[in-house]
Amino acid sequence: MADIFEKKESNVRSYCRSFPTIFDRALNAELYSDGTRYVDFFAGAGVINYGHNNPYIKSKILDYLSEDNIIHGLDMFTVAKAKFIETFDEKILKPRGLDYKFMFCGPTGTNAVEACLKLVRKNTGRTNVIAFSGAFHGMSLGSISMTSDKSSRAGAGVPLNNVTFLPYSNTMGDYKKSLEYIQFMLEDDHSGLDKPAAMFLEPIQAEGGVNVAEIEWLKGIRALCDKHDILMVCDEIQVGVGRAGTYFAFERAGIVPDFVLLAKSLSGFGLPFSLLLMKPQFDLFKPGEHNGTFRGNQLGFVGAVAGIEYLIDNDLLGTVNKNAKIIEDFIKSNILPIDNRLTYRGIGMIWGIDFTGIDAALSLDVMKKCFENKLVIERAGSSDALVKIMPPLTIDEPVLMEGLKILETSIRSVLKK
């Protein structure tokens, strides 16, 4: 069976090169290939926050499917859409004091980014936007223009303009230096910066290497945006929906972005579904000015509602914060002592072990060894030097410990310690 992929599938395929087997089943934090079991520390690149085939969410989707309900509706009014808007507003936004309008975009996160780019430019009349070192916002042309890594940008085939990159949080060693530099760029009339329409940022950079923005940096960015009439956009596509230990990763800073981008785990079940949240005064699109055949996935609405119910009823955020301590304590006690040049960083249930201090290339060897030992885990960051721990939020504690021990064993094997 594997020959069909090599013969017929495009060379652009990537994750299958990291995990060269044919998966056929999955449940919670476990993947299966012809009976062989793997622990999942990858979670579909952040899509599977609620676990593979979450029974509660699956039951709601199957119930919906069994009744000949609307499956495809463009942006027409449907019962599923109304229930999602009502549930998200009442159970997620209002308890956090947030008032946003909803825009349902094409199926993937990058389409929500594209819609937001158009909208911030429409609101301000400016073309330039600020993105940050280490950013990943997607692979379509507007999104990739704000994505920083060379390999992603190289695939565009055209100049990627109208974006200025500035240093993220602690890129310069101290978040204060970053804020001072950004302030200089905005306020000095010889900085050369065209006043931006918006700043696009990830409160936690996942693909950028699990870079967790300092709370004071996030507050400082909000203050600079307010001072200079710049819109603030938080991209929560990979790090939202509970991954940080709060529903939104920006919550811990007590700020309110002008726009919020969600996708990936939003649907609760791995279904394509993206959402742009905006403060009501910025809703300036004319009818159909940004559209798409598959905007507003009906099964995504159903899964998302069930996901919110599951998250609240099972105190999933409390579980995330409990697991965060388990993961960090294990890293400190079992992995860092392997070699004092190893470093780590993270929050909630996204963590990373950085091999930069030893040899960035070793991260690939560790990833391969983990896969040999039946753990699915990926790399991220500059030179892909960081091995990223990102299991489903619902992972059972014994399985979490099993995966962490496989990671430890694999690192010891690669470093021969």
Kindly indicate the confidence band of residue 367, based on its pLDDT and cuts at 50, 70 and 90. very high
Instruction: Please name which of 296, 225, 234, 230 lies closest in space to residue 260, comparing C-alpha atoms.
Output: 234
What per-residue confidence (pLDDT) applies to 2? Answer: 74
Q: What's the residue count for the chain?
A: 417
Which string of DSSP letters, residue by residue, matches 172-191?
Answer: TSSHHHHHHHHHHHHH-TTS
pLDDT at 128 over 80: yes
Distance of alpha carbon 157 from the chain centroid = 25
Model pLDDT for residues 283-324, shown as the tens digit of each residue: 999 999 999 999 989 999 999 999 999 999 999 999 999 999
Q: Where are the beta strands (DSSP E) in 294-403?
A: 343-347, 350-354, 375-376, 378-380, 386-389
Within 8 A by CB and 6+ apart from 150, the residues are none
What per-residue confidence (pLDDT) applies to 94? Answer: 98
Mean pLDDT across the chain, nearest whole number?
Answer: 96
Kindly indicate the confidence band of residue 16, based on its pLDDT and cuts at 50, 70 and 90. confident
Here the tokens at position 110 are 């990058």
Model pLDDT for residues 58-111, shown as the tens digit of each residue: 999 999 999 999 999 999 999 999 999 999 999 999 999 999 999 999 999 999
Task: Residues 2-54+315-415: name the CATH superfamily.
Answer: Aspartate Aminotransferase, domain 1 (3.90.1150.10)
Each domain of the chain, given as residue ranges in start order, spans 2-54+315-415, 69-313
SS3 assignment, position 371 = helix
What per-residue confidence (pLDDT) applies to 207? Answer: 96
Are 306 and 268 in contact by the 8 Å Cβ rule? The answer is: yes
- Domain 69-313 bears CATH identifier 1.10.260.40: no
Kindly indicate the confidence band of residue 23, based on its pLDDT and cuts at 50, 70 and 90. very high
In 249-315, alpha helices (H): 298-313
What per-residue confidence (pLDDT) applies to 195? Answer: 96
> Measured between alpha carbons, how far apart are the two ends of the chain, in Å?
38
Asked if the domains 2-54+315-415 and 69-313 are classified in one and the same CATH topology, the answer is no
**Euclidean distance between CA atoms 99 and 97, whole angstroms:** 7
Here the tokens at position 398 are 């014994």
What per-residue confidence (pLDDT) applies to 9? Answer: 87
What per-residue confidence (pLDDT) applies to 6? Answer: 87
Q: Answer left, alpha or beta for residue 165, where phi above 0 means left and psi between -120 and 50 means alpha.
A: beta
Here the tokens at position 387 are 């091995």
**Euclidean distance between CA atoms 331 and 327, whole angstroms:** 6
